[in-house]
Amino acid sequence: MQKIKLYWKLFVIPIFLLVAFGIAYVSYFRHTETPHMHDFDPGISDKRKVAIYENMIDALRDENYGSSVDYQKRAETNHIQCGRVLSGDTEYINTLVGENRIPLIENRRLNMSCPAIQDRIHSETRDFKLLDSGIAFARVVYTDYEFIEKQLEMSWHPQNVFCFTVDKKSPDEFISRMQKLDECMENVVVLPVLENYDSSGHNMNIGHKRCMEALLPKTDWSYILLLQNPILLGGVNDVHFGKEIDGRRVPGLKWDPRSMNLFINESGINEKVLNEPMRVYSGAVQVSLTRAAVKWLIEDVDVSIAIKQFNQTKYAGDEQLIPSLYLNYEYGMPGHFTDHCPDYDGPKQITRFVQWARGNINNCPTKTVRHGVCLIGIEQFRALSRMPFITVNKMVPSFDYSIIECTSELLYNRTFLGQMDHELDESFYKELLHVKYHKHHEDPEYKLDCSSNQKPWKYEYYL
């Protein structure tokens, strides 16, 4: 009996931990603000500011503030009862939206000493359980140090590793704070600042590749990028894909593996594969890759020319590389999928949750959109807590910090207090088409069935 119980814990706790961890992880700056925009909204009305500061003063006057062993919220969000939001108390939730949303208030006295940073990211009171293997994260960043540190706290585990590459245009203060993370945190690498990144995706693939190179020698991780669930995905990559978006590629370039010098060792590779142009697909930059796929990307193929060619595209040239390698199955990327199901409209990726406004602000629960993407607000907390995705695009600290804080508290509760508010639906992951394909594609009897799969995923199912 004891033994069974223990096994159950080993299996389930890491899953909850991993799936839970990523929820607030907002990645890269596709469709985010332009780099000069501030982390903190300068346009907040005085009335709203007064209400926010009054809450902060109340928090600081509270004799017990900061002394609890439970999750520690910031002063501006300390009064928020995340448990009530989680239970779906609409009356209460209505007091936290609209004019009353709580943005992040910059900590002008942020203590940047190593002991203080370490204490914020992994305080000694946190008891980390051993995982079967860790997760690696690679991120391109340019602003929002406090938010990045919060996300690091949410996904930190002694077995996880993190790589950041910082935009050259970032303010010096941001760059030096990021470098402080490298200096103070053993499992965080902040690469030398070499490239300009922009919201059109230029140089993004290069930044990620440099991070993959930096992280590959580090042992003990099984999936890279966004935290991933290695047990349930069973070795397949998790990449969003769709038909190539018209006009993305500049004309006149050669896309066959031979011209791109894609394969480092061409012997043993079919001539047809070498000479036919790569079939190009558009997807998302946010992906989860297995360690084997990363090793292949670094050691077996040379993507420099492909990256350079895609980088000539004006907008979103970074969204084609990984999806195309993933679907050109004959290239043999470990954990690949296939483009034999071009019209498949079931769930394609669990790495990222994103709600597109599609030209109508009413498609966004918060009625707030930035660059076509809905901003996530506190009223969506309950739905998010039940969704199968591991990251969310996008939460913006200057728009609504309560959702970030409550997500962080929820992960804390699930990870360290054993809170079981939601049962993980394992079958959802096991039934994903790419997961099933990966499991069976080498079996000669296996016939890929593009139709008999899950229904398109809908946000409404989780309300």
> Which residues in 306-335 contact ligand NAG (CB under 6 A)?
308, 311
Phi, psi (deg, nearest 5) at residue 139: -140, 140
Smallest separation, CB 232 to ligand NAG (Å): 23
Smallest separation, CB 450 to ligand NAG (Å): 32
CB atoms < 10 A from the CB of 38, how many?
A: 11
Binding piece for ligand NAG, criterion CB under 6 A, among 125-133, 224-232, 265-273, 319-327: 265-273
Nearer to ligand NAG, 4 or 264 (CB): 264
Smallest separation, CB 259 to ligand NAG (Å): 17
**Contact assessment for residue 142 and residue 172, using Cβ atoms and an 8 Å cutoff:** no
> Which residues in 45-74 contact ligand NAG (CB under 6 A)?
70
Residue 446, token pair as written in the block:
């296996």
Cα–Cα distance measured from residue 76 to residue 86, given in angstroms and rounded to the nearest whole number: 19
Centroid of chain to Cα 95: 29
CA 324 to each of CA 249, 333, 434: distance values in angstroms, whole numbers, following the listed order: 13, 11, 15
Nearest Cα neighbor of 408 from 163, 96, 103, 147 is: 147
Cα–Cα distance measured from residue 350 to residue 425, given in angstroms and rounded to the nearest whole number: 13
**Contact assessment for residue 224 and residue 136, using Cβ atoms and an 8 Å cutoff:** yes
Smallest separation, CB 82 to ligand NAG (Å): 4
* Residue nearest to ligand NAG according to CB distances in the complex: 83
Nearer to ligand NAG, 113 or 275 (CB): 113
> Which residues in 114-153 contact ligand NAG (CB under 6 A)?
115-116
Q: How many residues bind ligand NAG (CB under 6 A)?
A: 23
Smallest separation, CB 418 to ligand NAG (Å): 10
Task: Tell me the torsion sign for CA atoms 166, 171, 176, 177.
Answer: negative
**Contact assessment for residue 421 and residue 415, using Cβ atoms and an 8 Å cutoff:** no
Q: What b-and-e string marks burial along 59-85, b requiring 16 or more CB atoms within 10 Å of the CB?
A: beeeeeeeeeeebbbbbbbbbbebeeb
**Contact assessment for residue 307 and residue 205, using Cβ atoms and an 8 Å cutoff:** yes
Smallest separation, CB 302 to ligand NAG (Å): 14
| 82 is a site residue for ligand NAG (CB under 6 A) | yes
Nearer to ligand NAG, 70 or 256 (CB): 70
> Which residues in 401-460 contact ligand NAG (CB under 6 A)?
406, 409-410, 413, 417, 419, 421
Q: Give me the helix-helix angle, 402-416 and 145-155, nearest 10°.
A: 20
Nearer to ligand NAG, 420 or 463 (CB): 420
One residue of 2, 45, 67, 265 binding ligand NAG per CB under 6 A: 265
> Which residues in 167-226 contact ligand NAG (CB under 6 A)?
202-203, 206
Binding piece for ligand NAG, criterion CB under 6 A, among 11-19, 80-88, 127-135, 354-362: 80-88
One residue of 42, 217, 252, 268 binding ligand NAG per CB under 6 A: 268
Nearest Cα neighbor of 68 from 147, 151, 150, 125 is: 125
Smallest separation, CB 346 to ligand NAG (Å): 31
Smallest separation, CB 56 to ligand NAG (Å): 18
Q: Where are the beta strands (DSSP E) in 330-429?
A: 353-354, 369-370, 373-374, 392-393
Would strands 288-290 and 373-374 be described as parallel, antiparallel, or unpaired? unpaired
Binding piece for ligand NAG, criterion CB under 6 A, among 15-23, 111-119, 130-138, 438-446: 111-119
One residue of 52, 56, 86, 322 binding ligand NAG per CB under 6 A: 86
Smallest separation, CB 204 to ligand NAG (Å): 9
Smallest separation, CB 113 to ligand NAG (Å): 4
Tell me if residue 373 falls in helix, strand or coil.
strand
- Residues interacting with ligand NAG, by CB under 6 A? 70, 82-83, 86, 111, 113, 115-116, 202-203, 206, 265, 267-268, 308, 311, 406, 409-410, 413, 417, 419, 421
